[in-house]
Amino acid sequence: MEKIAFFDTKPYDKIYFDKLNKEFEIEYFESRLRPESVRLAEGCKAVCAFVNDDIGEKSINKLADMGVKVLAMRCAGYNNVSLKAAQGRITVVRVPAYSPYAVAEHAIGMILMLNRKLHKAYIRTRDFNFSLNGLIGFDLHGKTAGVIGTGKIGRAFIDICRGFGMKVIANDPYPAENSGIDYVSREEIFRQSDIISLHCPLTSDTKYIINEQALSMMKPETIIVNTSRGKLIDSEALLDALNEKRIGGAALDVYEEETDLFFEDNSDRIVTDEVLSLLVSRPNVLITSHQAFLTNEALQSIAEITLKNLHDFFAGNPLEYEIKYKGDEHHA
């Protein structure tokens, strides 16, 4: 029975991996995978990691020297993995799509909450304050949603927007064929959209896709939504635009410096990230802690595909979801 070192473990991870695992010995660690914690994988041929683990060159080299043969990412993103260092030494697999509906629905939920001030209304009524002052939103019906990235999640998001009666425009270097999606330039997305939602991976081409220049093109009422990767947005430029009332608001499930903060309870310590602290304090900003994927269906799918990836690797089967180095790394 092959032994797997499972890093950055949360209680909800164990539920589905323990339920579905029939083949491996899994050793769970709460620690994130980073160069200092690599030693925990001693005696394991496989490592299972998540989005905020530090799997750069240093970690990869240490894992390979210890005899680790496969790195199973239990997520879609892999910008925290040095594929260049892993090339020819450690096989890397991932879960490309677990539940596109989970992420798309969370994005829509954040839009509704931020636009209609539902979070504020909830807090008010718990104090028996039933005033409607300051709770005005706008109809989504008839508004324009600009979607950057039209993979499975982006297309699920588009379907929901159409259900609300929204006009949808999109941008993607690889347009979905026969989808009926109206593809336009990024500049047109920035200029025309009332809602801009990011559903693209983090690459050298998409880092800070929302920057000072992009923000300067937007309408003053535009809401930006990010459920993909934090570094798609230049947070300081976003904060400036919010402070100067050049955009309407931001709904963020990810943040570019989230690694040491998200997924953890930091309520009893002082958070020194000034940009995040200021974003959290803004009344037109809604932040969740990389939560968009968190549904029962998604967690089950993550466990199923991760365990299948590991089974196929050790059985010598073709690897459907292997990631290989292509020379376009904008990460670890």
Go through 296-328 and write b for each residue having 16 or more CB atoms within 10 A of its CB, e for each that does not: eebbbbbbebbbbbbebbeeeeebebebeeeee
Residue ranges per domain, the chain?
Answer: 3-98+296-323, 100-287
The residues, any chain, with a CB within 8 Å of residue 244's CB and separated by 6 or more, are: none
The two tokens of residue 9 are 């473990």
Beta strands in the chain (DSSP E): 3-6, 25-28, 46-49, 70-73, 91-93, 144-148, 167-171, 182-183, 195-198, 223-226, 249-252, 285-287, 322-323
Q: What pLDDT, on a 0 to 100 scale, did the predictor assign at position 164?
A: 98
CA gap 144, 167 in Å, rounded: 5
Predicted confidence (pLDDT) at residue 330 exceeds the cutoff of 80: no
CATH 1.10.10.10 corresponds to the domain 100-287: no
CB contact burial 11-23 (16+ within 10 A = b; e otherwise): eebeebbeeebee
- Architecture of domain 3-98+296-323 in CATH? 3-Layer(aba) Sandwich (3.40)
158, 170 Cβ separation under 8 angstroms:
yes
Instruction: Say which of 74, 106, 290, 331 is annotated catalytic.
Output: 290
Fold match flag (3-98+296-323 vs 100-287): yes
Give the pLDDT band (50/70/90) at residue 326.
Answer: confident
In 3D space, the residue among 158, 276, 37, 241 whose CA is nearest the CA of residue 28 turns out to be 37
Range from 90-99, 232-241, 321-330 carrying the lowest mean pLDDT? 321-330
Q: What is residue 329's predicted lDDT score, i.e. its pLDDT? A: 52
87: its two tokens: 């090339």
Average pLDDT over residues 150-158: 96
Residue 166 has pLDDT above 70, yes or no: yes
Residues 6+ apart with CB under 8 A from 73: 48, 49, 50, 81, 92, 93, 94, 95, 323
Q: pLDDT tens digits for 175-210?
A: 999 999 999 999 999 999 999 999 999 999 999 999
Whether residue 198 contacts residue 225, with contact meaning beta carbons closer than 8 Å, is answered with: yes
Residue 132 has pLDDT above 80, yes or no: yes
User: pLDDT confidence of 331, banded at 50, 70, 90?
Assistant: very low
Q: With residue 239 as reference, give the H or E element that holds it.
A: helix 235-243
290 belongs to the catalytic site: yes
Q: Among the options 199, 229, 256, 331, which is catalytic?
A: 229
Percent of the chain surpassing pLDDT 70 = 98
Residues 45, 68 contacting (CB under 8 angstroms): yes
Task: State yes or no: pLDDT of 327 exceeds 90.
Answer: no
Rounded mean pLDDT of the chain?
Answer: 95
pLDDT digits (tens, 9 = 90+) for 21-47: 999 999 999 999 999 999 999 999 999
Out of 32, 106, 258, 331, the active site residue is 258
- Rounded mean pLDDT of 253-281? 93
